[in-house]
Amino acid sequence: MLYDLFIAPFAEFEFMRRALAGAFALALGAGPIGVFLMLRRMSLVGDAMAHAILPGAAIGFLIAGLNLFAVAAGGLIAGFVIALAAGLITRATALKEDASLAAFFLISLAVGVTIVSMRGSNIDLLRFLFGSVLALDDATLLLIAANATISQFGLALIFRPLVLECVDPVFLRSVSGAGAWAHIAFLALLVINLVSGFHALGTLLAVGIMMLPAIAARFWARDITTMITIAVATGIVSGYAGLLLSYHTSVPSGPGIILVAGMFYGISVLFGRVDGVVRQLFPGRHLEA
Amino acid sequence: MTAQLRFCDLTLGYDRHPAVHHLNGTVEAGALLAVVGPNGAGKSTLFKGVVGALKPLAGRIERDGFAQQDIGYLPQVAEIDRSFPINVFDMVAMGLWRQAGLFGGIGNKQRGRVEEALAAVGLSGFEDRPIGTLSGGQMQRMLFARLLLQNARLIVLDEPFSAVDSRTASDLLGLVRKWHDERRTVLAALHDIDLVRANFPETLLLAREPVAWGPTAEVLTAENLLKARRMCEAFDKEAEACAITEAA
């Protein structure tokens, strides 16, 4: 009975195993990135960037059809271009970064959907918007795994300047010029993780596996290492439970994963040890010192 | 070699608007210099320029004999994101940047030095506290501990005594005096005129333009202070390009 419920779907079906592997890799790469986005107050930047990838991927699709490398390369290029352009426009004009990103992502979404519709069917469009976690082929799985690996090592390399750039940026500039490079490397890691997420969860939900576990982790930890660990664990459990949910019910798989992550978020907001709602309403008796 | 800091017709600012305008002068090695001026006088901007975090709009800063790792900087508390989940130990350990750099580990010996620095500022036992839980005074003590680890020859303090009680201020002033006795060069941006008069031999009175620079008693006259306040009016959006050409 328990076996049928929790293990059989993965033991019996290869596409479920692939989906699980993809979801795990995604959680490992995206979780830490999400924590930094949240701590830098860039949560919505991730969202905007995810949309920005769509037109690039769509152009790849227009040229080469559903070819992994064309679509991924298009997405990567578009992601980097948008990240740079948004930064430049902010610097050159009076627009705040969030405003210029909002402008970019609305335009990108419209352009992307238009291009996909020009060449493909509604099925293709759905695939672009919501991903296809149940149809990951070898190449896509490898891409996601490679991105997760790069992301882990890359983050380890830039961890110290990145943390300091968040807490005490002027001090960092007084001891080292690494801050700007760390920021650029971080944006690059963000883009490759979004491209991974795009393949599995689509342009609209790719950020979900990045931000929801990170925001949930905020309610359980007071130091960044624990926070990242919790975010990754939450992402992994969401992937597993979301796939089960979609297998046993009629919930589509991508949204299933994000729904479970959303549930973890809700629980954390309510019952989190650090500033959770219940904890604030009923803080217990004050301490002696 | 005597290390000194020279400002040569230095203009610093943001978006072409000068916050420090045509500053000339020399900070001698071993000086204990207070930088005084109203809000918006350019004290923080000057310090960001000194530590290399801000490039001059015109002119230059010569740091003869001071390399980047010789400079220790205490930023204004407002520059620090206190909601970031990092604890006191990790924050103070960043003072070891010169040894540890981007990737170096913090070994037992370094741990010992962090503990010593925390003890020296009276924060033993605070290692695991998130920085967001510190009071204003504890926060400044923590930043001083980080400075102690930097072991710098040029020390730049941006409002080190803001929001601290008199006991903390006098503890921290003790450290500043010790640095001065060790012939380190110390620059501090301060608002408390009495504290400056009692402890700092040399003062720069700044109001975007330098008002006066010299022995504290000669600089901090009522007349100069009034002048500084008058000069610090809001910046002019329609300002013309500055006509003073750079000295050759």
Across the interface, do B103 and A227 touch by the CB < 8 Å criterion? Answer: no
Residues whose CB is less than 8 angstroms from the CB of residue B168 and which lie 6 or more positions away in sequence, other chains included: B137, B140, B141, B161
Enumerate residues 31 to 70 of chain B having a beta carbon within 8 A of any beta carbon in chain A: 48, 51-53, 68-69
Mutate to test the interface with A, among B51, B55, B79, B86 (most CBs of A within 10 A): B86
Helix intervals (H) in B182-235: 193-199, 216-219, 222-231
Q: Is pLDDT at B239 greater than 70 in this prediction? A: no
pLDDT bin (cut points 50, 70, 90) of residue B247 is: very low
How distant is the Cα of B224 from the closest Cα of chain A, in angstroms? 31
| B15 Cβ under 8 Å from any chain A Cβ | no
Of A97-106, A160-169, A227-236, the range with the lowest mean pLDDT is: A97-106
Does B135 contact A at CB distance below 8 Å?
Answer: no
Separation in Å, CA of B104 to nearest CA in chain A: 10
- At residue A52, the pLDDT reads 85
Q: What is the CATH number of the domain that holds A228?
A: 1.10.3470.10
Answer whether A217's CB lies under 8 Å from A230's CB.
yes
CB contact under 8 A, A174 and B71: yes
Residue A132 pLDDT > 50, yes or no? yes
Confidence of residue A142 (pLDDT cuts 50, 70, 90): very high
Written as one letter, the residue type at A5 is L
Is residue A287 assigned to a domain? no
Q: Which pLDDT value is given to residue A270?
A: 95
Q: Judge whether B23 and B46 are in contact, CB under 8 Å.
A: yes
Q: Do B52 and A174 touch (CB under 8 A)?
A: yes
Residue among A160, A174, A178 whose CB faces B53 most closely = A174
Query: Which of the two residues, B97 and A92, has the higher pLDDT score?
Result: B97
Residues A15-38 have a mean pLDDT of: 95
Per-residue pLDDT, B30:
92
Averaged pLDDT for residues A117-141 = 88
What pLDDT does residue A279 have? 86
Q: Which residues of A touch B75 (CB under 8 A)?
A: 168, 170-171, 174
Q: Would the CB atoms of B84 and A167 count as touching at under 8 Å?
A: yes
Give how far B221 is from chain A: nearest CA, Å.
33
Show residues of chain B in contact with A157, CB under 8 Å: 102-103
In a domain, A69, yes or no: yes
Comparing A95-99, A127-131, A215-219, B44-48, the range with the smallest average pLDDT is A95-99
Give B27-68 pLDDT, tens digit per residue. 999 999 999 998 888 999 999 999 998 999 999 999 888 888
Residue A247, CA distances (Å) to A13, A82, A134, A240, B50 in order: 11, 36, 10, 11, 62
- Work out how many domains chain A is built from and give that number: 1
A269/A259 Cα distance (integer angstroms):
15
pLDDT at residue A266 in the model: 96
Is A275 in the B-facing interface, judged by CB distances under 8 Å? no
Averaged pLDDT for residues A172-197: 90
The backbone region for A285, taken as left when phi is positive above 0, alpha when psi lies in -120 to 50, beta otherwise, is: beta
Lowest mean pLDDT among A154-163, A250-259, B61-70, B177-186: B61-70
| DSSP letter (8 states) at residue B83 | T
* pLDDT at residue number A91: 65
Tokens of B117: 């620095």
What's the mean pLDDT when you consider all of chain A?
A: 89
Written as one letter, the residue type at A14 is: E
Of A176, A180, A178, A233, give the one whose Cα is nearest residue A209. Answer: A233
Using CB atoms and an 8 Å cut-off, which of residues 29-88 of chain A contact chain B?
Answer: 39
* B94-126 confidence digits (pLDDT tens): 999 888 877 788 888 999 999 999 999 999 999
Neighbours of A65 (CB within 10 A): 12
Query: Between B69, B73, B87, which is nearest A223 by CB?
Result: B87
For residue B71, which residues of chain A lie inside 8 Å, CB to CB? Answer: 174
How many angstroms separate the CA of residue A146 from the nearest CA in chain B?
Answer: 23
Q: Note the pLDDT tens digit of each residue in B206-227.
A: 998 899 999 999 999 999 998 8
Residue A289 within a domain: no
Token pair 């010789």: residue: B70
∠ CA B87-A172-A29, rounded to 5° = 65
Q: How far is A76 from chain B (nearest CA, A)?
A: 28
Whole domain around residue A219: which residue ranges?
Answer: 2-276
pLDDT at B2 over 80: no
Interface probe for A, chosen from B82, B90, B135 (most Cβ of A below 10 Å), is B90
Decide: B65 and B2 in contact? Cβ < 8 Å.
Answer: yes
B129 touches chain A (CB under 8 A): no
Question: For residue A93, what pLDDT is reported?
Answer: 66
For the domain B4-231, what is the CATH superfamily, name and number? P-loop containing nucleotide triphosphate hydrolases (3.40.50.300)
Instruction: Report the residue from A157, A168, A170 with minimal CB separation from B48.
Output: A170
What's the pLDDT at A92?
Answer: 67
Task: Test B94 with A223 for CB contact under 8 angstroms.
Answer: no
Per-residue pLDDT averaged across B186-212, rounded?
94
**B68/A175 touch (CB, cutoff 8 Å), yes or no:** yes
Q: Hey, where are the domains in chain B?
A: 4-231
pLDDT greater at residue B34 or residue B246:
B34
A170/B103 touch (CB, cutoff 8 Å), yes or no: no
Mean pLDDT of chain B: 89
Q: In this predicted model, which residue has the larger pLDDT, A272 or B101?
A: A272
Task: Count the neighbouring beta carbons within 10 Å of the beta carbon of residue A20.
Answer: 19
Cβ pairs bridging A and B (under 8 Å)? 70
Q: Angle between the B108-120 and B136-150 helix axes, to the nearest 10 degrees?
A: 130
Strand partners, B206: B210
CA A203-A204-A209 angle, to 5 degrees, is 90
Q: In terms of DSSP H, where are the helices of B101-200?
A: 108-120, 136-150, 166-181, 193-199
